[in-house]
Amino acid sequence: MESCVSTAMRRMKTPASPPGTAAISHGVLDDRLGYWTRRAQIGIFQDFFQAFRQTGIRPAQYSTLTIIETNPGLTQTQVADALGIKKANFVALIRELEDRDLVERRPDITDRRSYGLFLSKQGQKLMPILHAASGTHEQRLINVLGENRYRETLENLRLLAASLDSVAVDNPADSFII
């Protein structure tokens, strides 16, 4: 494990720079947590897309399906709040999952004006495949950091997310890289 970290450390001396640009200095960005969180997030998502390629499932869809699987019957608002996704974006996301016949909305037995979200039969069959892809992806991240650094990073990012208001805003910057 240590040699894996050392190898990555050596590569780190010119972070994410292609050959010929090694002399470019990041200036204060070297010490900006937001910059490196965004760069790491993009790298992690690239790896996610690779692991999930054959499923056509994106990160936000996987998270939504997992919340619905773990907590069947929640309302759209409850799932959107739990994930920190804006309601407007979430409605489109659920529609996609309904169109792929992975999620169903069923009326609440006690309040027929209210609809709960459930996995469809097809959704239930897909979940083990998605969790396996997610496990493969996660193991690659553990391999990059080593078990200890992986654990401390996970804990620290959860602490940051819980302490800062992490509900998404509609901001054009969000579609750019940092």
* Residues between 104 and 163 that touch a copy of itself (CB under 8 A): 131, 134, 137-138, 141, 144-145, 149-150, 152-154, 156-163
Give the E-state strand segments of the chain in sequence order: 103-107, 115-119
Q: Are 58 and 134 spatial neighbours (Cβ–Cβ below 8 Å)?
A: no
Phi–psi pair at 107, nearest 5 degrees: -65, 145
CB nearer to a copy of itself: give 9 or 109. Answer: 9
CB nearer to a copy of itself: give 43 or 107. Answer: 43
Taking the complex as a whole, the smallest distance from the CB of residue 60 to a copy of itself amounts, in Å, to 4
Q: Are 110 and 96 spatial neighbours (Cβ–Cβ below 8 Å)?
A: no
Of residues 58, 48, 50, 34, the one with CA closest to residue 134:
48
CA distance 28 to 80: 35
Q: CB count, 10 Å around CB of 54?
A: 8
Taking the complex as a whole, the smallest distance from the CB of residue 99 to a copy of itself amounts, in Å, to 14
CB nearer to a copy of itself: give 58 or 100. Answer: 58
Taking the complex as a whole, the smallest distance from the CB of residue 39 to a copy of itself amounts, in Å, to 4
CB nearer to a copy of itself: give 71 or 122. Answer: 71
Binding to a copy of itself in span 30-59, by CB under 8 A: 31-49, 58-59
Q: What is the CA radius of gyration of the chain?
A: 19
Contact with a copy of itself (CB under 8 A) among 11, 53, 87, 106: 11
